[in-house]
Structure 1
Amino acid sequence: MDECSQHFTEKCGYEVGDSVFEGSPVSDACCRGLVSLGKTCQDLFVANALDSLSNAEKPQFLANSTKVWNRCVAVALSPSSSIYPVKVSNQKALDNCRIHFSKNCALELVNHISKGETVSDNCCRHIVHAKKPCHQLFLDWSLGYQPNVDRSRVFEKSNKIWNRCVAITVSPSLSAPTVKN
């Protein structure tokens, strides 16, 4: 346990603990730190914290711990390893991406990420037609206006919707989308 705690900041320890026990978000930096320590260290931290709880509470917190770990692995393995507000240098790329998205589709995507609403099959075809870099750039830009969002969960949802949309789009019965504004 001492070896694990020497390589993890107190701040990140609290973030991970708050995420497991209270559902609070974990920053990308702390996720990367946790993953670099390894699952064994996370399991030791959680087991130590669970010692003071009743057996009835433990299964839920162990499940939460697994969810936190999985989100952190997704963040750590992300090519960009973070979702960030679009910089001015990316504005031209964002403008080029916007021609592939209708306003309704953009709203569907944001509502899916923030509220869990469904993204239509037609919108999925637009997303895939625009390509993954546009999908990611659009989400980065959208998150620039939502500073208190759990970026690791957004990344996880973003990958799930991308995979779902690819599956829908490659179906032989579906054709390429037409953009409607």
Structure 2
Amino acid sequence: MAKFSTQQIALFIVVALVCAFVPVYSVEEVEAKTLWDTCLLKITPKCALDIIDVVFGDGTLSNSCCHDLVEEGKMCHDKLIKYISDRPSLIAKESQYLKKRDDLWTHCVSISKTV
């Protein structure tokens, strides 16, 4: 039971980090709920944070997280990164983030094929 609570807390942290990029007045509740219901619950919170760090920072992604990302699906990956990169504070570099998103996807697909 404690592990379940820890996972819930970690998922909350992921969502909070996603929302941190978004001013309160611009959060679209339906879009955020759709991301939560269809995408964020499919991967571990650590992998979600690592993916965000790779695309919006200079992090690295483990092979197991690459596998989780591919299992999550391209639509969820694209939608989540696009949702974050559309924030006013990030929009200036959106094309850079979308390229990193696509490069990460290609890398993870190639890793998943070899495993």
Which TM bucket (shorter chain)? 0.5 to 0.7
Q: 2:110 aligns with which of 163, 167, 172?
A: 167
User: Greater shift after overlay, 137-146 or 98-107?
Assistant: 137-146
Change (3 A) 1:143 1:126: same
Partner of 2:82: 140
Alpha-carbon distance between aligned partners in 1 of 2:79 and 2:48, rounded to the nearest angstrom:
12
Alpha-carbon distance between aligned partners in 2 of 1:122 and 1:162, rounded to the nearest angstrom:
14
Unaligned runs of 5+ in 2: 1-25
Partner of 1:151: 94
What letter matches 1:157 in structure 2? K
Alpha-carbon distance between aligned partners in 1 of 2:90 and 2:101, rounded to the nearest angstrom:
17
| 2:57 counterpart of 1:119 | no
* 1:59-78 mapped onto 2 (5 Å cutoff): none
CA contact (8 A) 1:86 1:141 kept: no
Change (3 A) 1:112 1:133: same
The percent of aligned pairs where both chains have the same amino acid is 24
Q: Which has the higher contact order (CA 8 A, sep 6+)?
A: 2
Alpha-carbon deviations, 1:40-75, whole Å to 9, x = none?
xxxxxxxxxxxxxxxxxxxxxxxxxxxxxxxxxxxx
Structure 1 residue ranges, 4+ long, deviating more than 2 angstroms after superposition: 85-93, 140-146
| Alpha-carbon offset, residue 100 of structure 1 | 1.1
Q: How many residues align?
A: 88
| Alpha-carbon offset, residue 90 of structure 1 | 2.7
Unaligned runs of 5+ in 1: 1-84, 175-181
**How large is the RMSD of aligned CA atoms in angstroms?**
2.1
| Alpha-carbon offset, residue 89 of structure 1 | 3.4
TM-score by length of structure 1 reads 0.43
Change (3 A) 1:148 1:91: closer
| 2:39 counterpart of 1:97 | yes
What letter matches 1:108 in structure 2? D
CA contact (8 A) 1:86 1:137 kept: no
Alpha-carbon distance between aligned partners in 1 of 2:88 and 2:47, rounded to the nearest angstrom:
19
Alpha-carbon distance between aligned partners in 2 of 1:169 and 1:98, rounded to the nearest angstrom:
20
Alpha-carbon deviations, 1:146-180, whole Å to 9, x = none?
62350000011000000000001111xx2xxxxxx
Alpha-carbon deviations, 1:61-107, whole Å to 9, x = none?
xxxxxxxxxxxxxxxxxxxxxxxx87433334312211111111011
Higher percent of residues as helix: 2
TM-score by length of structure 2 reads 0.66
Larger Rg: 1
